[in-house]
């Protein structure tokens, strides 16, 4: 049981490269495994989520050499791809832990295999909706059984022929879209997927990098079956979702000036920057470049007064994972912030609207939950206190940043899952000025 204890006040200064992008890391393993030839990955996120995906493909017979990175660098992988039809039947159920991305993307691959398989995860994942991928995969011809209410575990019968579908997703979701794009590689004909809003496009970009022809037309994508993937190299940028904690921390803490290096700037992910700038944040983007098909830049963040805003609904999907820390930004902005159109937050690793409302209330913030968001009254400073992360990595890290503007220390309980997306978070945060210690023996000064 890991607890964060964070001293009140302080500022964030210096420079930092946060770990590799989680979405891109998962995809690098999946596509590298299904490709023909040797794929090399650098900057791989050594978090539990992406390591579980790696282990799952190893247990399906894919030779993957994993070289742990020295601090700040990320891991390296050498994947000897087995081709679309080279996976082997795993001996045991594939355990993807806390990761919805791993489960939903792998569902698209496993539904199309000759062999049966089962996907399992932790308690949080077993509470998350999987009907959104089960339904379209079954329309393609897959046979899948699940727990009650279409929750995990997912059991794939295997040995079914998949046929292309023309499908409109019930919610804009990169996980659904990517699941179906992967299944489409195995299906007869051309699969078309239409979305009501923008979702992250890492799968489209990376599939193209592996030589696959992907059609993109506004909010629709298409993939025809039978295309092979050719190995390539993938350099994983730093995860903007992990950078987000520091971007908000430096914005709210007086005296901060922080440089974040090599941050992924994919336009389907940069909603956090747009929202914070609307609130008055001081974020300078420099050294823009492109790395393996993904835009990357360095970010300089200086403290600035934030104002409450109505968060534009069209920016919500572009910042969906950043809302826990955006709630903290709103809590110390001047005036009211209104968040709507974010009902998906209720089906993440925990119900993130409820978790943030519970914790911010304990810290003395006036916050009202909405079914699809919240209304937050900004306060001059927070009270401090003890809050629960509900075992959600992003809730834990968001509340640790709240200490920067609190009168008393902030204690965050149940923080072990921070390791799913951000290994060594406390050490890195401590190194640039956050007064954070952990209670599990890995205390940092």
Between CA 183 and CA 164 the distance in angstroms is 9
Among 2, 23, 39, 191, binds ligand S3P (CB under 6 A): 23
Q: Which is nearer to ligand S3P, 200 or 262 (CB)?
A: 200
Rg, the chain, Cα only: 21
Candidates 171-179, 282-290, 307-315, 423-431: pick the segment binding ligand S3P (CB under 6 A): 171-179
Candidates 32-40, 169-177, 333-341, 432-440: pick the segment binding ligand S3P (CB under 6 A): 169-177
Q: Does 394 bind ligand S3P (CB under 6 A)?
A: no
Question: Nearest Cα to 350, choosing from 100, 96, 74?
Answer: 100
Between CA 84 and CA 77 the distance in angstroms is 19
Read off the tokens for 169: 């997703």
Q: Which is nearer to ligand S3P, 171 or 278 (CB)?
A: 171
Q: Does 417 bind ligand S3P (CB under 6 A)?
A: no
Kindly compute the dihedral angle of the four CA atoms of residues 349, 220, 312, 326, in this order, to the nearest 10 degrees.
30
Candidates 71-79, 173-181, 422-430, 433-441: pick the segment binding ligand S3P (CB under 6 A): 173-181
Q: Which is nearer to ligand S3P, 251 or 421 (CB)?
A: 421
Q: Does 2 bind ligand S3P (CB under 6 A)?
A: no
Q: Does 200 bind ligand S3P (CB under 6 A)?
A: yes
Q: Which is nearer to ligand S3P, 298 or 321 (CB)?
A: 321
> Can you point out the beta strands (E) in 274-432?
282-291, 294-302, 336-339, 366-370, 373-377, 385-388, 410-413
Residues 334-373 that bind ligand S3P (CB under 6 A): 344
CB of 137 to ligand S3P, least distance (A): 15
Choose, from 49, 321, 392, 414, the residue flagged as catalytic: 321
Catalytic-residue membership of 321: yes
Q: Which residue's C-beta sits nearest to ligand S3P? A: 23
Q: Does 42 bind ligand S3P (CB under 6 A)?
A: no
Residue pair 353/346 in contact (Cβ under 8 Å)? The answer is yes
For residues 77 to 116, the per-residue mask of contacts with ligand S3P, x marking binding by CB under 6 A and - elsewhere, is: ------------------------x---------------
Q: Does 174 bind ligand S3P (CB under 6 A)?
A: yes
Q: Which is nearer to ligand S3P, 202 or 303 (CB)?
A: 202
Between CA 8 and CA 363 the distance in angstroms is 12
Q: Does 192 bind ligand S3P (CB under 6 A)?
A: no
Residue pair 125/147 in contact (Cβ under 8 Å)? The answer is no
**How many residues form the binding site for ligand S3P (CB under 6 A)?**
11
Among 46, 235, 298, 321, binds ligand S3P (CB under 6 A): 321
Between CA 305 and CA 272 the distance in angstroms is 16
Between CA 214 and CA 208 the distance in angstroms is 7
Kindly compute the dihedral angle of the four CA atoms of residues 241, 242, 247, 250, in this order, to the nearest 10 degrees.
160
| Contacts with 218 (C-beta within 8 Å, 6 or more apart), sequence order | none
- Order the strands of the 154-156 sheet from edge to edge: 94-95, 117-120, 154-156, 144-146
CB of 352 to ligand S3P, least distance (A): 10
Binding residues (CB under 6 A) for ligand S3P: these are 23, 101, 173-175, 178, 199-200, 320-321, 344
Which residues participate in catalysis according to the annotation? 321
């Amino acid at each position: 049981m890991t607890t964060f204890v964070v001293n009140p006040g302080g500022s964030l200064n210096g420079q930092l490269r946060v770990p590799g992008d989680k979405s891109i890391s998962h995809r690098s393993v999946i596509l590298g495994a299904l490709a023909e030839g040797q794929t090399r990955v650098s900057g791989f996120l050594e978090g539990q989520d992406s390591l579980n995906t790696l282990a799952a493909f190893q247990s399906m017979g894919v030779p993957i050499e994993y070289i742990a990175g020295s601090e700040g660098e990320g891991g390296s992988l050498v994947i000897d791809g087995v081709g679309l039809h080279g996976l082997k039947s795993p001996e045991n159920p594939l355990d993807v832990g806390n990761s919805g991305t791993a489960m939903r993307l792998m569902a698209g691959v496993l539904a199309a295999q000759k062999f049966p398989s089962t996907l399992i995860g932790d308690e949080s994942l077993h509470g998350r909706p999987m009907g959104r991928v089960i339904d379209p995969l079954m329309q393609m011809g897959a046979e899948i059984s699940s727990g009650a209410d279409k929750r995990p575990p997912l059991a794939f019968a295997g040995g079914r022929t998949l046929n292309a579908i023309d499908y409109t997703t019930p919610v804009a979701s990169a996980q659904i879209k990517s699941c179906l794009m992967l299944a489409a590689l195995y299906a007869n004909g051309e699969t078309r997927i239409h979305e009501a809003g923008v979702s992250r496009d890492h799968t489209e970009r990376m599939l193209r990098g592996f030589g696959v022809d992907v059609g993109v037309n506004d909010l629709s994508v298409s993939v025809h079956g039978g295309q092979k993937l050719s190995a390539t190299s993938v350099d994983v940028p730093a995860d903007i979702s992990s950078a987000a904690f520091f971007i908000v921390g430096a914005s709210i803490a007086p005296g901060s000036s922080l440089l974040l290096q090599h941050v992924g700037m994919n336009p389907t992910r940069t909603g956090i920057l747009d929202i914070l700038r609307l609130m008055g944040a001081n974020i300078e983007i420099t050294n823009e470049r492109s790395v393996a098909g993904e835009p990357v830049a360095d970010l300089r963040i200086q403290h600035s007064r934030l104002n409450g805003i109505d968060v534009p609904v069209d920016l919500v999907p572009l910042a969906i994972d950043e809302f826990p820390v955006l709630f903290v930004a709103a809590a110390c902005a001047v005036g009211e912030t209104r968040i709507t159109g974010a009902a998906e937050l209720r089906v993440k690793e925990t119900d993130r609207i409820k978790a943030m409302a519970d914790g911010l209330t304990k810290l003395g913030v006036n916050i009202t939950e909405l079914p699809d968001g919240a209304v937050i009254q900004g306060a001059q400073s927070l009270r401090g206190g003890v809050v629960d992360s509900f075992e959600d990595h992003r809730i834990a890290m968001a509340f640790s940043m709240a200490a920067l503007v609190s009168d008393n220390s902030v204690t965050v309980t149940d923080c072990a899952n921070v390791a799913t997306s951000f290994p060594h978070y406390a050490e890195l945060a401590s190194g640039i000025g956050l007064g954070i210690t952990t209670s599990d023996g890995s205390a940092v000064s």
